[in-house]
Structure 1
């Protein structure tokens, strides 16, 4: 089944209920596609959500979506990871007799409304941005890494846990198209002026524990040059976290966003953020 047939199938499942309105179809990365809907509640309120499914019937594509479903459910309480939603009387689910429903893996996600970091960089066209704005973006990325290392429980903040061993989850696809801006959050001091930045697309995420997965060439270029090893505490250490943070460093390279206006942070600036 091709992508167009998948989209039509998803739309057909929601067409029988007036509370759902089709909005548009979005790119869902290499292995998926996303269909965006609006759900209207009886109180007059509404929300947008996205249904993500495989864009092909090939085994590796389907496996990628299943992998993303597993990772996102483990991270579903993390503020800086795209959120998993539930729908009452979900038409994609089979009935109580096990009949009907969508026969391919799917996940329902929040609609992240303000576009990708890559699109933002293109739109500003090399304009010089305040350092405080750039640090807010960088902090969002680091918080996503903290969430992957220590998946928060419901109602808990994304923070390290001294008594716990960090997770070995690596995103493996962390670039500016996979960070998206959400809403301005008036009840969060960090996001009063800068929209929250969320990490998406976990289809190739994986658990890694071996030192052999570290990209030695990139480590020498960044970690060794900035002397980051001196700031890592001995004890609770995770190769996966090091990989994720290194990918953040490359994705959020401040010279890329600010032209030549800002130099990359020094090792002292990274001190607290690079600790395990």
Structure 2
């Protein structure tokens, strides 16, 4: 932490110590707009619903010449119930220590727009302990061999689900967290996030017996930073499709950067050629050449469901693809995600 972040940490500690219910556990990290810390309740050492994340913005919301963003709180409220977007915890004045007055030695925070996320009672944990996609990519690269295709397809599916969440922003049921599925209608508006980067994508808890097949070998990947989300009206399908296509290109570029996709100019016998083609189509400079969101969701979902270890043994035989077995993938997930050191330096 630099001096600014250290001073903020001490300031937060005064608020939470004065309140007595919460403990400022650690610093998570900082970006251009905000700093993030981890909290927990004082009366529990568990990893469940007693753990919180708090995000403290440094300045007022950024506005760019090319578009107008909505507030991050508004964006998070919009995506309540979307499984691949971090869930917001709202607090009342008596629940929030930072809204207290006359806390000794505590100064006013930079902006009255801090955000809490936590584990929802009865729902999936929103304390995301398993680190960022960027950290996972770095650890995978250090291993020196490509990621299994079955992991890549599952990461791709999470990114596609995020696209679906943004394409139909008002379709979510805030009373329950569910997978984002395509819909038939053209919505009145769409959301667009230009900041889909590996540092803003974080792995959630790993649930090997998850009800959703796509999350049984790898943890769910969630978007955590909504500070640059734009909301635009979509009066007709063409306007909606254009914005969706922009999001598809972003996730294609993200897949290209993940270890294993776009490994080099030479053909790679270990990389699923269909995966490589689809990612390439998503990144096309021509909007007309990119896949539609519905067909993209079908392609990737079918690969997740149908391309198991037996499929790869038959279609891509050879020692290079031994890593497609369930046991090999689970071992790799534990090594690079579950048991990895994901704490910031």
Q: Deviations over 1:219-265 (max 9, x none)?
A: xxxxxxxxxxxxxxx77833222111110000111674353442513
The answer on whether the counterparts of 1:168 and 1:238 sit within 8 Å (CA) in structure 2 is no
* Largest Rg, 1 or 2: 2
Where does 1:13-162 land on structure 2 (aligned, <5 Å)?
13-39=15-41, 46-55=49-58, 57=59, 59-60=60-61, 67-86=71-90, 89-93=95-99, 104-109=112-117, 110-125=126-141, 126-151=144-169, 152-154=172-174, 155=176, 156-162=178-184
TM-score (norm 1): 0.75
Tell me the equivalent position of 1:184. 206
- Is the partner of 1:37 in helix, strand or coil? strand
Aligned to 1:231: none
Deviation, structure 1 residue 3: 3.5
Which secondary structure does the structure 2 equivalent of 1:16 belong to? helix
Kept in 1: contact 2:70–2:231 (CA 8 A)? no
Return the offset for 1:60: 4.8
Correspondence for 1:206: 230
- The CA deviation at 1:137 is 0.5
Instruction: Give me the CA root mean square deviation.
Output: 3.5
Structure 2 spans left out of the alignment, 5+ residues:
102-106, 118-125, 283-289, 299-345
Q: Using a 3 Å threshold, how does the CA distance of structure 1 residues 46 and 208 change in structure 2: closer, same or farther?
A: closer
Per-residue displacement from partner, 1:100-150 (whole Å, max 9, x unpaired)?
996621111243211111111110124222212111100001101111111
Per the TM alignment, residue 43 of structure 1 is displaced from its structure 2 partner at its CA by 11
Structure 1: gaps of 5 or more residues: 211-233
SS in structure 2 opposite 1:257?
Answer: coil
Q: Give me the TM-score of the superposition, normalised by structure 2.
A: 0.61
Question: Partner of 1:92: helix, strand, or coil?
Answer: helix
Q: Distance in 1 between matches of 2:245 and 2:63?
A: 29
Residues 274 and 42 of structure 1: is their aligned pair in 2 closer, same or farther, counting only changes over 3 Å?
Answer: closer
- How many aligned positions are there? 246
Higher-helix-fraction structure: 2
User: 1:249 and 2:261 equivalent?
Assistant: no
The 1-side partners of 2:149 and 2:247 are apart by 23
Deviation at 1:178, TM superposition (A): 1.4
Task: Compute the displacement of 1:168 (Å).
Answer: 2.4
